[in-house]
């Protein structure tokens, strides 16, 4: 019997010893600090943009029309050709004009000869009239004849100027340098005065005409830079505001805005997107949207406090692109955890990775 109790006692002691050992082994250990990246909260500047669109135009875009009528005898330039200022594009037949000019020149020569004769006659009559050898009517007649000759000469000279202008206009010369963007001329066709000849465009300098509302106009100024984007561009390019209207347009009720820029991948007629700075926020606290946790429309971030994560709720003033403007919840100098915060809790131990 005694032996039986001794066996039971040994079993109980052994069991208690095992449980004590297991309890000691199962005691939980403190969680390891979680690796995080942090940045210091500093005052920043951020720009707010207004998005616009507009059609591109060339600064130099000229339409030529025929100044005179006539048969087209030669076309020197064609669609897409480059032209220099003063270079000939096409020409009208001038044979009839040349004949008319020769006739006028002959007439002018005759009139000048007649002028010399009448001038001599007038000078003589003037002396005779003063001496009383001719009557006043004879003197007046000589003077009138002289004036008629002078008037006739002026008329012929005016006609010659007109003919010379027609001869000049018979040759279509480029008024500007650029490229032929449109032309519809055929050799041998008859052109009437006023008919469209061609368009010349210089794509090296471009402009955009668009408009902005009254809420944005006060933030814009001449010379201000803008961003221009288009599928032809790998990245946005810079433009400059060159004109601002002081009152709204009659049809669209927006203030007209003109922007100039240069780019060889954008052509006149293309529609581009424009971003214009409409407001600048200075000395504001910003957090990226991917640095913020959201729960039921509330926004939180984690900062560092004595080696632990501190969860803070933010009050947001506005979202601009991928950033929030913080109204409350952060202060200058706070260490914001911007990476490794997704599984943090308030008071979590952290290790800052530098």
For 128, the token pair is 């005779």
User: Which residue, 154, 152, 133, is CA-closest to 144?
Assistant: 152
pLDDT category, 140, cuts 50, 70, 90? confident
271-284 vs 225-229, strand pairing mode: antiparallel
Overall pTM surpassing 0.85 (yes/no): no
pLDDT tens digits, residue range 258-306? 999 999 899 999 999 999 988 889 999 999 999 999 988 899 999 999 9
pLDDT for residue 157 is more than 70: yes
Q: Please report, rounded to a whole number, the percentage of residues in the chain having pLDDT higher than 70.
A: 92
Please tell me the distance from the alpha carbon of residue 286 to that of residue 25, in angstroms, as a whole number. Answer: 48
34-40 vs 350-352, strand pairing mode: parallel
Last residue of a domain, one of 141, 168, 195: 168
Residue 153 included in any domain: yes
- Here the CATH number for the domain that contains residue 143 is 1.10.287
Please list the alpha-helical segments (H only) found in the chain: 2-25, 95-131, 136-169, 214-217
Residue 120 included in any domain: yes
Cβ count within 10 A of residue 63: 12
Task: Provide the pLDDT for residue 125.
Answer: 78
Residue 23 included in any domain: no
Range of the domain at 124: 94-168
- Name residue, tokens 């669609």: 79
pLDDT tens digits, residue range 62-111? 999 999 999 999 999 999 999 999 999 999 999 999 999 899 899 888 88
Last residue of a domain, one of 168, 191, 206: 168
Number of domains in the chain: 2
**CB-based contact 182:77 (threshold 8 Å):** no
Residue 187 included in any domain: no
pLDDT for residue 192 is more than 50: yes
Q: Residues 1-20: what's their mean pLDDT?
A: 48
Q: Residues 177-192: what's their mean pLDDT?
A: 94
Please tell me the distance from the alpha carbon of residue 138 to that of residue 310, in angstroms, as a whole number. Answer: 121
What's the mean per-residue pLDDT of the chain? 88
pLDDT for residue 21 is more than 80: no
Please tell me the distance from the alpha carbon of residue 276 to that of residue 218, in angstroms, as a whole number. Answer: 12
Residue 41 included in any domain: no
Which among 141-150, 210-219, 327-336 has the top mean pLDDT?
327-336
CA-based torsion, 94, 100, 102, 104: positive or negative: negative
Task: Provide the pLDDT for residue 299.
Answer: 95
**CB-based contact 263:233 (threshold 8 Å):** yes
- Angstrom distances, CA of residue 308 to CA of 22, 28, 303, 322: 32, 20, 8, 27
Residue 332 included in any domain: yes
Cβ count within 10 A of residue 226: 23
For 191, the token pair is 């052109």
**CB-based contact 129:136 (threshold 8 Å):** yes
Residue 347 included in any domain: yes
Task: Provide the pLDDT for residue 241.
Answer: 96
pLDDT category, 119, cuts 50, 70, 90? confident
Task: Provide the pLDDT for residue 13.
Answer: 46
Residue 258 included in any domain: no
Cα 67 from chain centroid (whole Å): 34
Q: Which residues contact 97 (CB under 8 A, 6 or more apart)?
A: 163, 166, 167, 170
Please tell me the distance from the alpha carbon of residue 210 to that of residue 185, in angstroms, as a whole number. Answer: 34
Task: Provide the pLDDT for residue 30.
Answer: 60
- Here the CATH number for the domain that contains residue 334 is 2.40.420.20
Last residue of a domain, one of 109, 143, 168: 168
pLDDT tens digits, residue range 246-257? 998 887 789 999
Task: Provide the pLDDT for residue 28.
Answer: 54
pLDDT category, 15, cuts 50, 70, 90? low
Q: Please report, rounded to a whole number, the percentage of residues in the chain having pLDDT higher than 90.
A: 63
For 70, the token pair is 């006539």
């Amino acid at each position: 019997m005694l032996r039986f109790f001794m066996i039971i006692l040994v079993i109980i002691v052994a069991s208690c010893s095992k449980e004590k050992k297991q309890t000691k082994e199962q005691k939980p250990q403190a969680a390891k600090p979680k690796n995080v990246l942090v940045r210091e909260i500093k005052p920043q500047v951020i720009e707010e943009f207004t998005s616009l669109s507009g059609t591109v135009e060339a600064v130099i875009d000229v339409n030529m029309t025929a100044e005179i009528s006539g048969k087209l005898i030669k076309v020197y330039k064609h669609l897409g050709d480059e032209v220099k200022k003063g270079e000939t594009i096409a020409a009208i037949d001038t044979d009839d004009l040349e004949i008319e000019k020769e006739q006028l020149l002959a007439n002018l020569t005759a009139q000048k000869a007649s002028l010399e004769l009448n001038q001599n006659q007038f000078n003589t009559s003037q002396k005779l009239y003063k001496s009383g050898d001719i009557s006043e009517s004879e003197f007046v007649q000589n003077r009138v004849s002289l004036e008629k000759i002078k008037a006739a000469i002026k008329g012929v000279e005016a006609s010659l100027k007109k003919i010379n202008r027609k001869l000049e206009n018979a040759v279509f010369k480029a008024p500007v340098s650029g490229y032929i963007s449109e032309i519809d001329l055929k050799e041998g066709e008859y052109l009437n005065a006023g008919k469209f000849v061609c368009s010349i465009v210089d794509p090296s300098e471009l402009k955009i005409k668009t408009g902005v509302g009254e809420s944005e106009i006060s933030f814009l100024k001449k010379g201000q830079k803008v961003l221009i984007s288009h599928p032809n561009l790998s990245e946005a390019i810079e433009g400059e505001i060159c004109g601002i209207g002081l009152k709204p347009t009659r049809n669209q009720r927006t203030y007209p805005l003109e922007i100039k820029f240069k780019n060889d991948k954008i052509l006149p007629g293309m529609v581009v997107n424009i971003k214009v700075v409409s407001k600048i926020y200075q000395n504001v606290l910003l957090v990226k949207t991917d640095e913020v946790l959201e729960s039921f429309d509330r926004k939180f971030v984690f900062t560092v406090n004595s080696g632990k994560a501190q969860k803070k709720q933010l009050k947001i003033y506005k979202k601009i692109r991928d950033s929030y403007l913080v109204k409350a919840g952060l202060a200058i100098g706070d260490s914001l955890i911007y990476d490794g915060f997704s599984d943090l809790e308030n008071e979590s131990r952290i290790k800052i990775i530098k």
